[in-house]
Each structure stands twice: as C-alpha cells, then as structure tokens.
Amino acid sequence: MDNLNSSPSPVRWFMVLRRSKPVESPVRKFSTSSLCEEVLTKVRDAFSSGKTKPYSFRLLQLNAILQMLEEHEADFIEALNKDMHRPRFETVLSEMITVKNEAMYAINNLQKWMKPKTVQKSMISLLDNCFVQKEPVGVVLIVGGWTFPIEQSLIPMIGAVAAGNCVILKPSENSSQAANLLQILLPQYMDTSCYHIIRGEHRDVLTVLENKFDHVFYTGDRTIGKQVLQVAAKKLTPVSLVLGGKNPCYVDKLCDLRVAARRIAWARFINAGQNTLAPEYVLCHPDLKERLIHELRNCVREFYGHNPRESPDYGRMACTEQYQRVKDLLSTGQVAFGGETDDGDLYIAPTVLTDVQEPDAIMEHEILGPILPILTTQTLDEAIDFINKRDRPMTIYVYSGNQEVISQIMHRTSSGSFCSNDSMIQNLNTSLPCGGIGNSGIGIYRGKYSFNTFSHRRACVLRTTTAECVTHLRYPPYTEKTLQLIKWACTLSKKENSSWCCIL
C-alpha cells in the first residue's frame, strides 16, 4: 500500500508523531465543525475511491491494529496506569486480550463474512442469481467511552474496518493518556487517508454531528446519547448507542455464597468499579443479607488487603468530575463497609451500602464506581417485579444452584445480555453480541455482529432476458387467467414452508 506510512494532513486538531516509542505531547483539539468537515471530505474521497473495499486492504488494516497492540502493549498499560492507576493485570485481561481477540477473530473470519449469501428462490426466479451482498456503509464516526478506553474505541473500529468502511475515531478525553497514545500510534500503523482521530470533550460530538456521517457509534452516558440520536436523526444517520444501565444481580438462597461473593466483588470493583457491565445492585432475601455482606467484606480484604488504598491491584477514578459524582452517592443509605475517600488521589474504597431506597439517586443513575448497594426482596417474584419496573439494563446476573430460578429470571426479564453464576464473563466471548436494549442502548456489536452493524445488506438479483415467456404475464392487458397463474407461482406454501416470492 503506497500511503500506509504517508504523513497525515496538517489539520489543526489532528497531530501525529512518528516515533518508535510514543512520548507525551501537546494535544490539539478541534474547535469547530468546519475543521471536522475538512477531514470528513478527505475521508469520504478515500472511501469513494473504493480502496477500503478489497479483502486484501481490510486484512492489511486489521493486521496493523493487531501489530500495534502487540508492539505497544507496555505503552497502553502505562497510559492506563496514569489515567486511573489501572493494574497491569486488569489492562491485559480486560483490554489487550479482548481487543487482540476481536482483531484476530475478524482476521480469521473476514473472507467468510464478505461472501455473498444466496437466498431461496421461487419458481419464477429459478433461472436468476439471487443473493445478499454485504457492502460498507461509508464513513463511520466512532465515539469511544472512558471506562475501558482502548476496548471501547478499537472493538467497534475493528468491526467498521472489517466491513470496509472509513473511520473517524473520537476517543474519550476522560482517559487522556490513552487518547493521546491512540492519536500517536494509529497513524503509524493504519492508512491515514481512511482513518483519522479527532479530539474533544464528549459533548463536542454534537458539534461534529453537524456533518453528515453514514453511521455513528456512540459509547457514553444516556443524556448525551439521546442528544446524539436527535442530532443524527436530522440527517437520517443510523446510530448505535452503548449507554449502560442499572444491572441487577439476584443472589438466591440456593447458591455457593462464597463463590458468588468473589465473582460479584471482582466484577464490581475491577477498574475501581468503572464498568458498564458490573453489577449495579444486589437483590437477595433479608435472611441472606448479612451473610452476603460478610462474604463480600472478606473478598475485598482477600483481593486488596485491609487498606485497598495501598494495594497495587486497586485503581482510581479516571477524573475529578467522575470522582466527585461517585463520592456524592456515598451519602445514600448506610455504609456496611468501605466508604473512605481521598480527594487528592481520586480514591474511593470498595464500598457496600445497605438501607438504600428505590427513589435514591444511586438507584436512578449508573454508578460507574466502586459502590454496591444491597436491597432485599422476600420472594423471587418480587425480585423479578423489581427488575421489570425499571429500565431494561445492559445485563442481568443471577446466582443460584436452582435451574428453575435461573430460567424464571432469564425468561421473565429483558436485558442486553444475561449471565448466571458469574459476572461479565459474557464479554470475553467474541462470538456473543454486546449491546443494550431500550434505555441501555441501541444496536449490537462484537465479532460478526460488528461486521453486520457496519455493513449494508444489499439485495441483488441478476437476471437475463431469456425468460420473457414467463415474465410477460405481469404486463397489461390484465386477465383473470394470468392473475391466477401469478398467484399460484407466488403464494407461500405452508406445507412446504417455502419462501416463494414474486420477482416478476
């Protein structure tokens, strides 16, 4: 590829440093929609040239992402440690392995995904070639989240690249070191005429959307997500939203409470609780509450010691704004354990709350911090009713040794995903879709689902002119005889379960 290592256009808010090792550098951000429009024009020209469509080009770019992750893993670990005191173990597990697997999965399956899909034909179309062709939608805007900034930027980007699109990526400013690193590294590995990074605050995406994109993929909070949807609708731009929600976790009496506590505590307190798939609250029977709190306290001590602030394995909040927002939630209910904070260090201890009421702010908004409220319900039906009267969440968890309890919750509730007897493990499987439903998001992604999200499925029929003896039946003058023949040829047959369709 001739321009793989070519220098990018000198746009004010877009800067690239070509070094073997990235270093900290001043960041230039866009300030007006016109600047984004300038880059968008160049990217759209690149897409119009058709260079992103061939299998060889897509494969080259996917391998470039994989190579970047492998060669600069230590740099990503360091950046996320600076952003949120993230332990190396957590970054490797939750971001590096996950994104590498996503890229490798796309590389291994891309050729199969790109193949046209043949469809069943009717008697009238037996001589035709009928298939669905998957084509790139065009220029995609991806707005990454801040809780897992590498994963939430690159996983949707991998899907968009695999589908043959051009991409403008806007990583989150709440994880500024990670955003800086992506801004420096991506142009070193990927075609700079097709893939660009823009910088700015999350709210600035609304200004960027004054330009026309072919698809917008947004990860972030619900308030801005709704605004993104409204602004994109003015230009009829398709939108995918990953918004998070209040993920319930039901703990049944018939479960291994020790194992349940370990898995819940790990999922809630990894990355200092900054995770849209973490359990947001626990529902359990009143008789179980104190035992569960005891086990959770033991797990926190086992994981992080008696003072988590001194543990090398416990993170910090990503920015002052998020820290203060989560700290304010500690005034809700009663602290069962934890609750310590440090403004200077953006530290909030792993905390469990009790006596939380439904109208409390912590039950209305996604926590994204190391706080776990525990509420009680007398029966399984009461727990299901509690879940169902709230907005549908990103995921639902249930811990039980009773398969009937698991089945009841799975079939009587609705959520983006569901997992029994573990938490967040569904996110590690590249074959499973990820995404919310209702207020927790729109659309799905991961693996083939990402490829489909960023592809247009084009219905194609390749005919000849040799069947005019049949197709003439559709022409005037109309007669009852020709109508009956057409009905016979086109009507669905229940017995054969056929998909006859009229292609006259």
**CATH code: domain of residue 234:** 3.40.605.10
How many Cα neighbours within 13 Å face the side chain of 136? Answer: 26
Last residue of a domain, one of 435, 464, 499: 435
3-state class of 358 per DSSP? coil
226 and 272 belong to one structural domain: no
Range of the domain at 93: 33-243+447-456
Give CA–CA dist 330/350, Å, rounded: 11
Between the two ends of the chain, the Cα-to-Cα distance in Å is: 45
358 within a domain of the structure (yes/no): yes
Q: What is the mean pLDDT of each run of 10 residues along the chain (504 residues)?
A: 37 33 42 66 95 97 98 97 96 96 98 93 77 96 96 98 97 94 97 93 82 95 93 95 96 96 98 96 97 98 97 96 96 95 97 95 94 97 97 97 97 98 93 95 96 96 79 87 84 59 45
Q: What is the pLDDT of residue 14?
A: 31
Number of folded domains that form the chain: 2
Q: In the Cβ-directed half-sphere of 387, how many Cα atoms lie within 13 Å?
A: 31
The whole-angstrom separation of Cα 467 and Cα 380 is: 63
The strand pair at 351-354 and 334-337 is best described as: antiparallel
Provide the residue count of the chain.
504
Residues 77 and 218 grouped into a single domain: yes
* Residue 237 belongs to some domain of the structure: yes
Supply φ then ψ for residue 239, to 5 degrees: -135, 135
- The first and second tokens of residue 231, run together, are 């602004």
**Beta strands at 281-284 and 371-376: parallel, antiparallel or unpaired:** parallel
Dihedral (CA of 251, 257, 260, 266) sign:
positive
- 488 within a domain of the structure (yes/no): no
| pLDDT number for residue 127 | 74
Which one of 404, 435, 466 terminates a domain?
435
User: 159 and 71 in one domain?
Assistant: yes
- Burial-class residue 425 by CB neighbours within 10 Å (0-12, 13-18, 19+): middle
Domain-embedded: residue 384: yes
Residues 303 and 194 in one domain: no
With a CB cutoff of 8 Å and minimum separation 6, the contacts of 31 are 13, 200
- Alpha-carbon distance 138 to 454, whole Å? 9
Co-location of 276 and 239 in the same domain: no
Query: Is residue 277 a contact partner of residue 98, using CB atoms and an 8 Å limit?
Result: no
CA distance 33 to 18: 27
Q: Say yes or no: 262 and 306 in one domain.
A: yes
**Sheet-wide strand order for 248-251:** 334-337, 351-354, 371-376, 281-284, 248-251, 395-399, 417-420
H/E element, 42 = helix 33-48
SS3 241: strand
Residues contacting residue 37 through CB under 8 Å, at least 6 positions apart = 211
Task: Kindly state whether residue 503 falls inside one of the protein's structural domains.
Answer: no
The answer on 413 and 297 residing in a single domain is yes
Helices 55-71 & 73-84, crossing angle to 10 degrees? 60
What does the alpha-carbon distance between residue 114 and residue 160 come to, in Å, rounded to a whole number? 13
Residues 333 and 225 grouped into a single domain: no
- Alpha-carbon Rg for the chain in angstroms: 26
Q: Where are the beta strands (DSSP E) in 53-194?
A: 117-118, 129-136, 139-143, 166-170
Residue 28 lies in a domain: no
User: Do 103 and 196 belong together in one domain?
Assistant: yes
What's the rounded Cα separation, in Å, for the pair 210 and 337?
48
CA distance 331 to 274: 19
CATH code, domain with 416 = 3.40.309.10
* Residue 211 domain-assigned (yes or no): yes
Q: Cα–Cα distance between 144 and 198 in angstroms, integer? A: 11
Residue 31: the pLDDT is 43
My answer on whether 154 and 53 are in the same domain is yes
The CA distance from 311 to 326, in Å, is 20
Let me know: does 144 contact 267? Beta carbons within 8 Å.
Answer: no
Is 495 a domain residue? no
pLDDT value at position 156? Answer: 98
The answer to whether 455 and 136 are in contact (CB under 8 A) is: yes
pTM score: 0.89
| In a shared domain, residues 305 and 397 | yes
Residues 312 and 204 in one domain: no
Please report, for residues 98, 479, 484, the alpha-carbon distance to residue 474 in angstroms, rounded to integers and kept in the order given. 55, 10, 11
Cα–Cα distance for residue pair 62/195, rounded to 1 Å: 12
